[in-house]
């Protein structure tokens, strides 16, 4: 059974202002929830249409936060068009101390939740543990982002910063994905760097572009070059693959 106060709280978490106010976010689906629990995120409440013996991965202390609900009740809580079999509320984890070393992806005003979620999964796949986001990049605890990460959100250190100031205070080389840079396939790529990727419509802002000392591009092949640009998540995949291929030998 879901109380009115529980329902009100959960549905409010669709909005960033309430996530910020409460320090809570929602995850849906048994795989995503299990990944967050495995990673040690603090579970607040767990709602599922499955019987208790089907959620055996919940340890004894977490069973107290288990609530069996009907499909109709779960649908009322869900942010999905068709609810999954389970929904959980977690405390938003605290970010780690800022590091300016290693291999870092930086996002400048990436707004689409699906793109951000995919980029987080790519970071997880390519073992990039640090993701820096400008303050106007979409919130990583947006329900659509959480779902798109498929649990990878728990394994990536994501920080929201004044991106210009962050770059000013690093000694790492700054690579930026632009349309008219050097071909990534012909560039000497380092093991430590910051790669900046920009907004879906406008690319990297003018202020940040001035701070890039290694502009790179993914060259377009073929005779007919009518495609305007690559999707930012697709570009991230290509760049990470190339950087890792050349530096992990």
State the average pLDDT for the chain: 91
Q: Which residues pair with 104 in a beta bridge?
A: 130, 194
- Alpha-carbon distance of 209 to 226, in angstroms, equals 25
Q: Which residues pair with 240 in a beta bridge?
A: none
Query: What domain range includes position 219?
Result: 103-247
Look at the chain and report how many structural domains it folds into. 2
The pLDDT value recorded for residue 230 is 87
- pLDDT tens digits, one per residue of 68-96: 899 999 999 999 999 999 999 999 998 77
**Is residue 16 situated within a structural domain?**
yes
Quick one: 110 and 218 in the same domain?
yes
Radius of gyration for the alpha carbons in the chain, expressed in angstroms and rounded: 20
Only one residue has tokens 């093991």, namely 191
pLDDT class of 52 with cuts at 50, 70, 90: low
**Is residue 98 situated within a structural domain?**
no
Quick one: 69 and 124 in the same domain?
no
> Taking residues 136-141, what's their average pLDDT?
98
Quick one: 183 and 86 in the same domain?
no
The pLDDT value recorded for residue 67 is 87
pLDDT class of 221 with cuts at 50, 70, 90: confident
Quick check: 161 and 196 in contact, CB under 8 A?
Answer: no
Element holding 37 (H helix, E strand): helix 30-38
**Is residue 237 situated within a structural domain?**
yes
Q: Which two tokens stand for residue 77?
A: 């809580």
Helices (H), 140-203: 143-149, 163-168
Quick check: 215 and 184 in contact, CB under 8 A?
Answer: no
- pLDDT tens digits, one per residue of 27-50: 999 889 989 998 999 999 999 997
Quick one: 47 and 73 in the same domain?
yes
Which of 58, 91, 124 corresponds to the end of one domain?
91
pLDDT class of 247 with cuts at 50, 70, 90: confident
Q: Which residues pair with 197 in a beta bridge?
A: 107
**Is residue 96 situated within a structural domain?**
no
Question: Which of 61-65, 199-203, 219-223 holds the top average pLDDT?
Answer: 199-203
- Alpha-carbon distance of 225 to 85, in angstroms, equals 45
Quick one: 146 and 69 in the same domain?
no
pTM (2 d.p.): 0.92
């Amino acid at each position: 059974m879901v109380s009115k106060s529980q329902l009100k709280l959960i549905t409010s978490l669709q909005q960033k202002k309430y996530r910020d106010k409460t320090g809570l976010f929602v995850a849906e689906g048994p795989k995503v929830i299990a990944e967050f629990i495995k990673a040690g995120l603090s579970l607040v409440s767990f709602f599922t249409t499955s019987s208790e013996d089907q959620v055996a991965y919940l340890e004894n202390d977490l069973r107290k936060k288990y609530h069996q609900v009907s499909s109709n009740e779960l649908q009322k809580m869900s942010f999905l068009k068709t609810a999954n079999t389970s929904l959980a509320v977690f405390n938003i984890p605290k970010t780690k101390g800022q590091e300016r070393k290693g291999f870092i992806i930086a996002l400048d005003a990436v707004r689409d939740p699906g793109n951000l979620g995919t980029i987080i999964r790519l970071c997880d796949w390519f073992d990039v543990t640090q993701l820096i986001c400008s303050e106007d990049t979409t919130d990583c605890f947006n329900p659509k982002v959480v779902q798109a990460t498929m649990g990878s959100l728990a394994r990536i250190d994501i920080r929201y910063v004044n991106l210009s100031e962050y770059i000013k205070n690093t000694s790492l080389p700054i690579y930026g994905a632009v349309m008219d840079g050097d071909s990534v396939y012909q560039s000497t790529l380092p093991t430590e760097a910051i790669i900046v990727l920009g907004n879906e419509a406008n690319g990297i802002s003018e202020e940040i572009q001035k701070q890039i000392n290694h502009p790179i591009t993914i060259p377009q092949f073929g005779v007919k070059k009518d495609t305007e640009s690559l999707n930012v998540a697709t570009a991230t995949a290509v760049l990470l693959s190339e950087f890792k291929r050349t530096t992990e030998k």
